[in-house]
Chains A and B, each alone.
Chain A
Amino acid sequence: MGRGDGGDEMWRGGAEAVLDLQPNSSISITYDTFFGAPSDLLLLELDDKLLPQILQNRVTIRGEPDEEAVLCTPAVTYALKYVGTSNSVFLIPPSGPSSNVSDPSPVKVASVIKLAPGVMELVEVAPRLDKLKELLAENPYRPEEDSMEELEENDGLRRLRWEDLVERVQASDEELKDALKDNSAVEINGYWRIVDEKYMDMVLNMLLHNLVLNEWSLEGFEEDQVLGIMGSDGFPLKIVLHCLEVYGRRVNLNDELSGGSCLWRLDEKQVCVHFARVILCGGKMKMERFMEEWMDKIPAGMSAGFEMLEGEVLVENIGVETWIWAFRVSSLPSTPAERFAALFQARQKWEWKDLQPYIRDLRVPGLSSESLLLKYTRRTQPTMDAEPVFSAR
């Protein structure tokens, strides 16, 4: 028997004999010769439904050394919780292939290789995506890069390939892909980027300009034609396509009708919200002035409604004046505790209709939005028919 370093087969084992112990028989349980040596064994408790994912090698553990590790299946993120036990849990491995197969007598000894101090349990959690936002924000794509032939690899800026993201962000692949989309990130030359907002504004304005100039409809214009025109204006096609993805929707039409080229229409809400953001990036302003400037910027053929700005702006009455400022839900932390802290820092008391757009995206597995409110807010209702008001706990 090759006992020495490494392989599991050096253990005497005997799990089968323990599990298949027949009535009226006995087996001696001993410490293995190598008891205590394998300090690197872990027990992971998991649902039977997750078993196939593990056995098909579709599971990874993600996190930096200073983060609590999470386990990711292709679609779901789980926190790993260590649960200790005060019981003595004797672990008995199966007999290795090197055990005496020729020996016909039944095994009389089973060897314990380790006392398990506890097990790891899995708890489904929301993906931890705030870091993705930070990483993307470090190095947005700017127009200067259009003319650069090759990326300068040594400029000290972080490059984010997909492989880098899964090393750094604690989310499953699917959740990560969704989050990249939610953050309007785009893969440029193999690296995931967000595009500088001013640059996006420039591209969108040029797109609108070209639509008007060529008398193309906002409701259906051809991708090939737009790419051709915008390309000749000097915009990289990748960025123009990204602009279409962010502010437009593909129109599903028969290929015969569109002659093979893809049709796009602009998304009214996305475009209107974009212009509101541009106007408000200078800070607080009076409502009348904001509305005036906003309406001014809305392209002909589109109509803006104030309800589009849910989760984008806050409005406050000061004396007789109404003021508005940008307060974007997408810029707030995504964990409930931090989210509510940020909300109550911005405003001490919230009415439900104002609060709802800022918490409806919070997703905590196993916790309803009611229980979130109970946990993080104090609800007051002066009279039965008054609107409830939420403040910090």
Chain B
Amino acid sequence: MQIRVKCECGESSCREWAIVELQGVVEAQPAFQDRIQDLEIGVLCRSSSQEKYTFTVGYHELSGSKVAIKKPLLVLKKKKLSDSEGLLGSSSNSSKIELEVIGIIRHRILFKTRPRALISRSEPHIKEKVNKASPSVQ
């Protein structure tokens, strides 16, 4: 079988996605684990010095930088093309699949250090609902 890799965005206008990457796992508090949608993960902050970034997740602060990716990453989306001749009753894998290029990634904000604990701050939750949390980090 053959899966076509399709790109409708054309050579110049492939839209760029972003990656925020850190070591390890971000865990939501148990109460939120099943519904993390719309929760804030953290606050990304760029300092005054050029490419230094911090990412504050709950009590922890990570420092990192924006790096160009050596080889670009394409974001592909699997698309099932509906099989109009489905009446033939052939096996399920007869439905055609296409991969569509929906974006390209050329940079990531990478945090590769261990987190620093922000002891001066006291927040009740690691994460809060985004619409409640104020995204201000001084």
Contact = CB atoms under 8 A, between A and B. Distances in A.
A42 B76 contact: yes
A107 to B, nearest CB: 11
A393 B73 CA distance: 40
Contacts of A40: 77-79
B18 A62 contact: no
Interface in B34-90: 36-50, 53, 55, 66, 71-79
A19 B18 contact: yes
A34 B43 CA distance: 20
Given A19-B18, A25-B45, A33 B77 contact: no
A229 interface: no
B93 interface: yes
A61 B2 contact: yes
Given A21-B46, A23-B48, A88-B22, A30 B41 contact: yes
Interface in A158-185: 166-167
Which interface residue of A60, A71, A116 has the most chain B CB atoms within 10 A?
A60
A85 B16 CA distance: 21
A88 B93 CA distance: 32
B42 A54 contact: no
A69 to B, nearest CB: 8
Interface residues of B, number: 64
A93 B37 CA distance: 15
B116 interface: no
Nearest to B38: A33
Nearest to A17: B18
B114 to A, nearest CB: 13
Q: Among A29, A36, A64, which residue has the most Cβ atoms of chain B within 10 A?
A: A29
A166 B41 CA distance: 45
Contacts, number: 190
Interface string B1-40: 1111111011100111111111111100000000011111
Contact of A108 (B15, B79, B99, B135): B135
A28 B40 contact: yes
Interface in A43-79: 43-48, 51-52, 54-57, 59-65, 69, 71
A364 B16 CA distance: 35
B46 A45 contact: no
B72 A46 contact: yes
A26 B101 contact: no
Nearest to A62: B2
Interface residues of A, number: 64
Does more than half of chain B's interface fall in helix, strand or loop, or is it mixed?
Answer: strand
Contacts of A57: 4-7
Given A21-B44, A29-B43, A61-B3, A109 B130 contact: yes
> Which of B22, B44, B76 is the most central at the interface, judged by chain A CB atoms within 10 Å of its CB?
B44
A350 B23 CA distance: 52
A119 to B, nearest CB: 6
Contact of A94 (B15, B19, B73): B15
Q: Is the interface of A mostly helix, strand, loop or mixed?
A: mixed
B77 A61 contact: no
Given A18-B44, A41-B75, A89-B19, A61 B37 contact: no
A43 B74 contact: yes
B104 to A, nearest CB: 8
B2 A43 contact: no
Given A31-B41, A43-B74, A166-B2, A88 B19 contact: no
B44 A54 contact: no
Contacts of B105: 43
A12 B25 CA distance: 23
Given A19-B16, A31-B40, A61-B5, 8 more contacts: A19-B18, A23-B49, A24-B47, A27-B135, A31-B41, A42-B75, A61-B2, A93-B103
Interface of B: 1-7, 9-11, 14-26, 36-50, 53, 55, 66, 71-79, 93, 99, 101-103, 105, 107-109, 130, 133, 135-137
26 contacts: A15-B16, A19-B18, A19-B66, A23-B47, A27-B45, A28-B135, A29-B55, A32-B38, A38-B77, A40-B77, A40-B78, A41-B77, A41-B78, A43-B75, A46-B73, A51-B72, A55-B7, A55-B11, A59-B5, A60-B2, A61-B5, A71-B5, A88-B26, A93-B17, A94-B15, A167-B2
